[in-house]
Amino acid sequence: MCRERKMNLIRLECCNDPIKVSRFSLVPEKFGDMVVTLIRIGILVCLVASVSLTLHSAFSKKPDQWFPLPEHVHFVQNTSFVDTGPTNISHILFGIAGSVNTWHDRSNYSKQWWNPSTTRGFVWLDKKPSVLHPDMVVPYKISRGWAQFKYVHSASAVRIARIVYESFRLGLPNVRWFVMGDDDTVFFTENLVTVLGKYDHHQMYYIGGNSESVEQNVMHSYNMAFGGGGFAVSYALAAHLARMMDGCLRRYFYFYGSDQRVWACVHEIGVPLTKENGFHQFDIRGNPYGFLAAHPLAPLVSLHHIGQLSPLFPNQTHIHSLQKLISAYSIDPARIVQQSFCYDHKRRWSVSIAWGYTIQIYSTLLIAADLQMPLQTFQTWRSWSDGPFTFNTRPMSSDPCKQPAMFFLDQIAKVGTSGSVSIYKRHNFSGAQCKREGINRREVQTIKVSALKLDPEYWKNVPRRHCCQIMDGGSIKDGSMHIRVRKCRLQETITI
């Protein structure tokens, strides 16, 4: 009896002590119960954390930041909705291949076309320069990670091939096109924008041009964009290249040039070269005059190897020649070096105009097919031969009476808001002169050319060569002739 009363008192104490009750109820009697309890607690903690993370993401981050994406995908997300307007210069990121040894001198070429307020990009150097050129306008970056790759011919070729990859990895906003070029490549940026504006940067495009010398194309590839002439890679293709570039470079360690390596990687993706005739590698030797005087019917986009050719204008330095050409380009970018021709039937003259550069007068009536064919004033790049080239040429006659009288741009000025007047001055070459009777082209010393500004939209349609018209009935006043360049009329033909 006493023993039962004692047990009842103990039970009452347990019931009246809440701490003891809770401690007793939370301590499982078996190990299995403990495991089940821990699992339930873990699930509850995870559930609370997930809800908190979702709420935090919904109110503090953009949707593309909810979960970290791989870097190349993240960039695509950030740039896909920034700007849906037409392509302009701000959408292009230039990657210029340079080195500390060459950049000091070759930066003079970049200064002619680079606008610090609008142009984006960098020259990529092999190491930090010890002395910076005081008026260097192109910012620089140092190439990284290229020393790990083996090579057969040139380590710099590997480094330069990675510029596309390194430029993409910068993750700069609002980039549609990555444009590569050498440190002696001169770009005509307004025409470049016009050309790239024809294509959708969301698609995979690889745009550029071949070499002018057949031997160079045979040695490398007809399907390759030559790097000196410059080439453009769309954002969509650059994103794909960034994923596989380093592995690709390891496979093609035996290739010669950087552009050949890039081409091989693009080829693995299955993207063909889209050719644009305005990119000029200029793999030629000698004088580029004949080529530029009969430029293809395409906007001038780039020139390469300027310093290794004769100056564009006689009796001038390479830089001064380039500045003169750019002075005309700045007034009418779309028209620069565009060829048109007409005839003086009374005198039986053929006149060919490469606007902003040169005019030729022949003392015979030449068919249009001949006038649009470049005079061969140059040779092939590698063998210094007379051909073959990737275009037809016609030889310069040894007979001075059959050679054209040449006039070079002397002055140019705007007229109003949509026109220009350019003056071309006769150049008298030393050497044999034509003494045949009835041929008197020397009476013309200057030629004035008037033209309306060419709309860049002109190049987005099927182009047609413009016509020229000799004004004032062909009269020559004080040694000067006046010619007008205009659109050909609907039913008009260029005919002898």
- Residues 427, 472, single domain; the answer is yes
Beta bridge partners of 358: 354, 408
The DSSP symbol for 466 reads P
Q: Please name the amino acid found at residue 490.
A: L
**351 inside domain:** yes
How far apart are alpha carbons 342 and 278 in whole angstroms?
24
Same domain for 427 and 475, yes or no, is yes
Tell me the pLDDT tens digit for each residue of 94-141.
Answer: 999 999 999 988 999 999 999 999 999 999 999 988 877 666 789 999
Structural domains in the chain (count): 3
d(CA 274, CA 87): 18
Whether residues 397 and 465 share a domain: the answer is yes
Structure tokens at 308: 């290794």
DSSP character at residue 389: B
Q: Are 446 and 479 in contact (CB under 8 A)?
A: yes
Query: Is 299 inside a domain boundary?
Result: no
- Residue 436 pLDDT: 76
**Cα 272 to Cα 355: distance, rounded to the nearest angstrom:** 33
Tell whether 87 and 40 lie within a shared domain. no
Give the distance, in angstroms, between the CA of residue 427 and the centroid of all CA atoms in the same chain: 34
- Residue 423: how many CB atoms within 10 A of its CB? 15
Q: Can you state the angle between helices 18-26 and 2-16, rounded to 10 degrees?
A: 90
Domain assignment present for 427:
yes
| Lowest mean pLDDT, pick from 56-70, 204-218, 402-416 | 56-70
Work out the average pLDDT over 319-330: 97
Does 68 have pLDDT greater than 50?
no
Position 19 pLDDT exceeds 50: no
371 to 68, 293, 351, 352, 366: CA distances (angstroms): 61, 10, 9, 7, 7
Q: Are residues 121 and 199 in the same domain?
A: yes
Mean pLDDT of 229-233: 98
Boundary (domain end) residue, out of 231, 252, 275: 275
Higher pLDDT, 45 or 89: 89
Mean pLDDT across the chain: 86
State yes or no: pLDDT of 20 exceeds 60: no
Taken as a whole, the chain contains a residue count of: 496
Render pLDDT for 438-454 as a digit per residue (tens, 0 to 9).
666 778 999 999 999 99
Domain housing 466 = 329-486
- Taking the C-alpha atoms of 127, 132, 136 and 141 in order, what is their torsion angle to the nearest 10 degrees? 30
* Domain match, 426 and 399 both: yes
Start-to-end CA distance of the chain, whole Å, equals 141
272-288 average pLDDT score: 97
Same domain, 96 and 54: no
Mean pLDDT of 474-491: 94
Does 54 share its domain with 171? no
Matching residue, tokens 């007793």: 24
Contacts 24+ apart (CB under 8 A), 368-372: 368/341, 368/494, 368/495, 370/394, 371/294, 371/339, 371/341, 372/294, 372/339, 372/341, 372/465
Residues 412 and 348 in one domain: yes
The reply to whether 184 falls in a domain is yes
Examine the domain organization and report whether 172 and 49 are in the same domain: no
Cβ contacts of 249 within 8 Å, gap of 6 or more = 149, 158, 161, 162, 261, 265
Residue 423 clears pLDDT 50, i.e. is over it: yes
CA distance 476 to 380: 40
pTM equals 0.83
Strand partners for 140 = 123
pLDDT digits (tens, 9 = 90+) for 190-211: 999 999 999 999 999 999 999 9
pLDDT confidence bin for 493, thresholds 50/70/90: confident
Residue 40's contacts (CB-CB under 8 Å, 6 or more residues apart) are none
Is 367 within the bounds of a domain?
yes
Contact 447, 359 (CB under 8 A): yes
CATH number for 156: 3.90.550.50
Q: Same domain, yes or no, for 257 and 358?
A: no
Q: Answer whether residue 91 is part of any domain.
A: yes
For the segment 231-260, the average pLDDT, to the nearest whole number, is 94
Q: Which residue has the higher pLDDT, 318 or 14?
A: 318
Domain boundary among 211, 243, 275: 275
Share of the chain above pLDDT 70, in %: 82
Buried-state track 196-213, b at ≥16 Cβ within 10 A, e below 16:
bbebebeebbbbbbbbbb
49: phi then psi, degrees, rounded to nearest 5: -65, -40
Q: 36-46 pLDDT, tens per residue?
A: 566 666 666 66
How many angstroms separate the most distant Cα atoms in the chain? Answer: 157
Alpha-carbon span 225 to 142, nearest angstrom: 24
Both 46 and 88 in one domain: the answer is: no
CB-neighbour burial class of residue 71 (10 A; exposed 0-12, middle 13-18, buried 19+): exposed
241 lies in some domain: yes
Residue 175 Ramachandran class (φ > 0 left, ψ -120 to 50 alpha, else beta): beta
In a domain, 291, yes or no: no
